[in-house]
Amino acid sequence: VLAGRLWQLQVMRGDYFKSRSAANRLALVPISAPRGLIVDRSGETLATSRMAYTVSAMPQEFRDRKGEVELLSQLLGMAVDEIEAKIAGQTQGRHGIPYQPARLLEDAPPQIVLKVAEHRIDLPGIIIEEEPYRSYPHGMLAGPLIGYVGQISAEELKQLGALGYRGRDRIGKTGLEREFEEYLRGQDGVTEIEVDSLSRPRGTVGCTEPVGGATLVLTIDARVQQAAEEALRSQLQVLQAGKYKSARAGAAVAIDPRTGEVLALAAEPGYDPGWFVPRISEEQWRRVSTGASALFNRAVSGAYPPGSTFKPFTAMAALESGLVSLDEKFLCTPSASSRYFGMRCAAWSSGRAHGHQNLAQGMVNSCNVVFYELGRRLTADQMAAMAKAFGLSYPTGLRFTPPEAAGAVPDSAEREFMPGERLSYAIGQQITVTPLQMAAAYGGIAMRGPIYVPHLVRQILTPEGSVLDDMAPELARSANLSKKTWDFLHASLAEVTRTGTAAAGYAGFPVPVAGKTGTAQSPPGDSHAWFAGWAPASDPEIVVAVLIERGGGGGTSAVPVARAIMEAYFGVLPPVD
């Protein structure tokens, strides 16, 4: 019996026990793979990886632990307790791995690396590792869009541990870095280390090199993105220096309405993702997280009343319902206020009135009285149905982290609307939308129906350049209106930039533009400023939506930003002051 059992163990199951024996004496130490590139549509690098030094500890190799840690404290400028805590976090407890180095100082400055190297003989338990760190060559450019990378948290490790993530890993936390983490992370290599029964390293057996992550080729045009960010930043400074002291944030989105490709997605205030490498300082964290937080991407996550940029949808609902004709005249005069529950036209505050005008003139002048009358005739459900036909109240489908806000377009199923509220609804004060939604919806107006899913990534490539995935345009929905209504929209919105509320901002611009300004009330503070439009007016290539929080009038505050974005896209030189 004994001989039979020995034969079974040695012959029948010999390979199994041999592999178990090898597993017991070999440890696999990961070699971090560099994350993949993020480039714009022309190949301009927006995010890459650079090699840098990490000072790490192998505590099993200490000869005089107390003395070596005290020396290390002096060299690194770290407290002894902090060093010991980092070592314990790596080597002790349920998730401790004694044979893996414990990171003490990441992205170590060259002068510190040199000091540690000079004391190698005195620090046998200290190694200097070369590791990939994220790098952003253009600093703040597209920061909130790209997102940032950080140390994996305990909660994230619980969710992702089964996918091979480890406690030492750095992962995408937000933006594209997070949304496309599975492509960007790469495949770590391994060093096979022989260890003894106490998991102490005894020598290196073999090595498998890491494989870098995939490349994201974005739809973003870096020139247009930069123009959007600089225009937002400059305009906010001008507004704060003047009347609008609370104008501290804004957003701009530019889309190709023919495909849904996002050409620019800017949010201010922004941040440099490099501030988070290897980890953000307390000072920088306060800067990005307090006040008008830079971590809140207003282009995607901010939902605001659209003000007069909603008037085209009210006009569509009235025209398609047969409740107004293009020849009908409306009288804008202060005496009409009683008919509309005391609500006023913005022009009256400057001592003017629009007098008699038709629907097209009401759109060009952004006359509230015209749209109060439409709101009096329409139901909230009719206005909501038209807005929803263009995607308002629904996420656009953009792949992004965090997920986009849906906004709100309420109807009678949600609450009852008083007559005065319907008037307010007609001028965009009872709903909320995101700048991204507004850009997509105006893309539908520009294209006379088709609305494409906005997307930020054109292609995903292997490190060698082979195509992993091609992002084809995806039709989200198509709005159906009569030719009369489409013609009215295109003609009246083109006139807005020629003689209407956006005329001053687009004076001398060589490409015909169509669009609508908006001034959305948001008590108790100043109004939000909007502009949404497209160019060329008759053959759309680009749609732009701009929001300035607490920026006042759309014609004076939002239009200059939209113009700067279009100047960058068409290669038009800005006017000389």
Q: Are the C-beta atoms of 417 and 409 separated by less than 8 Å?
A: no
Q: What one-character DSSP code corresponds to residue 45?
A: E
Percentage of the chain surpassing pLDDT 90? Answer: 74
Predicted pLDDT at 192: 77
Percentage of the chain surpassing pLDDT 70? Answer: 91
More confident residue, 3 or 441: 441
- What does the pLDDT look like over 5-15, one tens digit per residue? 555 545 555 56
- What does the pLDDT look like over 219-234, one tens digit per residue? 999 999 999 999 999 9
343-352 contacts, C-beta under 8 A, 24 or more apart: 343/368, 343/372, 343/420, 343/423, 343/424, 344/368, 345/369, 346/519
Secondary structure of 330-343 in the HEC alphabet? Answer: EEECHHHHHHHCCC
More confident residue, 161 or 406: 406
Helix (H) or strand (E) holding 172: strand 170-172
pLDDT of residue 50 exceeding 70, the answer is yes
Predicted pLDDT at 92: 60
CA 70/CA 339 separation, integer angstroms = 82
Q: Is 165 helix (H, G, I), strand (E, B) or coil?
A: coil
- What does the pLDDT look like over 330-350, one tens digit per residue? 999 998 888 999 999 988 988
What type of residue sits at position 116? V
On the 0-12 / 13-18 / 19+ scale of CB atoms within 10 A, 534 is buried
- What does the pLDDT look like over 342-387, one tens digit per residue? 999 988 988 899 999 999 999 999 999 999 999 999 999 999 999 9
The predicted model gives 258-275 an average pLDDT of: 97
pLDDT of residue 189 exceeding 70, the answer is yes
> Distances from the Cα of 411 to the Cαs of 68, 323, 337, 385, 388, in angstroms?
70, 19, 26, 8, 11
Q: Are the C-beta atoms of 49 and 35 separated by less than 8 Å?
A: yes
What type of residue sits at position 58? M
Q: Detail the DSSP E strand segments found in 188-336.
A: 189-195, 201-208, 215-218, 250-255, 262-268, 330-332
**Token code pair at residue 443:** 């893309």
Cis upstream peptide for 536 (omega within 30°): yes
Write down the H helix ranges in 499-558.
Answer: 554-557
Number of H helices, E strands in the chain: 21, 21
Cα four-point dihedral sign 156, 157, 163, 165: positive
More confident residue, 18 or 532: 532
Cα four-point dihedral sign 491, 494, 498, 504: positive
Neighbours of 497 (CB within 10 A): 29
CA 74/CA 527 separation, integer angstroms = 55
Which domains are present in the chain? 30-218 (3.90.1310.10), 222-570 (3.40.710.10)
CA 403/CA 120 separation, integer angstroms = 49
What type of residue sits at position 315? A
**Token code pair at residue 342:** 């005391």
> Are β-strands 102-105 and 450-452 bridged in parallel, bridged antiparallel, or unpaired?
unpaired
pLDDT of residue 249 exceeding 80, the answer is yes
Contacts of 200 (CB under 8 A, 6+ apart): 60, 98, 99
> Distances from the Cα of 429 to the Cαs of 309, 318, 544, in angstroms?
10, 18, 21
Percentages of the chain per state (helix, strand, coil), in multiples of 5: 40, 20, 40
Q: Are the C-beta atoms of 407 and 433 separated by less than 8 Å?
A: yes
- What does the pLDDT look like over 113-146, one tens digit per residue? 999 989 888 888 888 888 899 999 999 999 999 9
Neighbours of 130 (CB within 10 A): 10
- What does the pLDDT look like over 424-450, one tens digit per residue? 999 999 999 999 999 999 999 999 999
Q: Is 71 helix (H, G, I), strand (E, B) or coil?
A: helix
CA 188/CA 221 separation, integer angstroms = 31
What is the residue-wise DSSP string for 289-322? HSSS-TTS-HHHH--B--GGGGHHHHHHHHHHTT
Ramachandran angles phi, psi of 511, nearest 5°: -105, 130
CA 311/CA 434 separation, integer angstroms = 16
